Structure 1
Amino acid sequence: MIERNCAGGVVFFGEKVFLLKNEKEEWTFPKGVIRSNEVPADVALRRVMEEGGVAAEIITIAGKTSYEFYSVNRRKPVCNKIIWFIMSTDSDEFDISEKEKFQDGGFFYIEHAFQLVTYTQDKALLDMSYKKYKELSV
């Protein structure tokens, strides 16, 4: 099995959160692989900008998740281990990157985002991150 360390961001703008819809029609958060000598926080901020065109700042760490899938290209199972950061932005402007194979995205009110997010662990991540965001934004 290939293990990859990744970093991503749960980005809030007031009562909204940023989501992306990938080529598999899954709604998720921006994230990417951490290459050697890269700092996880820098990777998360970079991926939020590259994938969604969102300039954000980190508030705190949200936690970690992981998932496994079978890579057809590599012909091996892959385990992505992701460290997540809670982020905020001053604008709801975004620019979805077609180069990164995203079909849609944007800022969604939290209630709607819960309905859109594809995976249960991402729903839990959103719930926990939003609670922390609200506590720290007071």
Structure 2
Amino acid sequence: MIFRSCAGGIVFYGNKVLIMKNEKNEWVLPKGVIKDDKISTEVALDRVKIECDVDARILSTAGQTSYEFYSISRQKPVCNEIIWYVMESDSDKCNINKEEGFKDGGFYRIKDALDMVTYSQDKSIINLSFQKYKSFRKEQANI
């Protein structure tokens, strides 16, 4: 089995979260493999920018998830371990990168996004991250 370390972002703008539809018609979060001596925070921010053309900033860690799949091209099973970051954008504008294989996406109301997202792990990390995001915003308002 091939193990890959990845990083991604759960990006919020108010009560909306950024999700994308991939080439398999799955609604997912922006993420990518950590390589070339990059650190996880760089990869997470880069993938949000590359996949969605969104400038975001990291507010907190969100947690980790993992999943396995069989790679036809490698003829081996692959395990992706993803570290997630809670992020915020100053705008809900995005431009989904179709050259990266994405078909659709944008910022959706949390309730709608949770109904749309394909994988239960992603639903859970969005839910937990939104609670962290709301707490962070509340703390900032009290400063």
Q: Same fold (TM over 0.5)?
A: yes
| Alignment correspondent of 2:26 | 26
Residue 99 of structure 2 corresponds to which residue in structure 1?
99
- CA deviation string 1:10-53 (max 9, x = no partner): 00000000001000111010000000411100000000000001
| Runs of 4+, deviation exceeding 3 Å | none
Q: In structure 1, how many angstroms separate the alpha carbons of the residues matched to 2:37 and 2:101?
A: 26
CA RMSD of aligned residues (A): 0.5
Counterparts of 1:24 and 1:61, CA distance in 2: 28
Match of 1:40 in 2: 40
* 1:16 aligned residue: 16
CA distances 1:43-77 after superposition (whole Å, capped 9, x unpaired): 00000000001000000000000000000111100
In 2: Cα distance, 1:122 partner to 1:89 partner: 19
Cα-to-partner distance string for 1:63-111 (whole Å, 9 max, x where unaligned): 0000000001111000000000000000011011011100000000001
Which residue matches 1:73? 73
Higher helix share: 2
Residue number in structure 1 paired with 2:63: 63
* C-alpha separation in 2, matches of 1:38 and 1:111: 34
Q: Find out whether 1:49 has 2:70 as its counterpart.
A: no
Structure 2 Cα separation of the partners of residues 74 and 111 of structure 1: 37
Aligned residues: 138
Q: Secondary structure in 2 aligned to 1:126?
A: helix
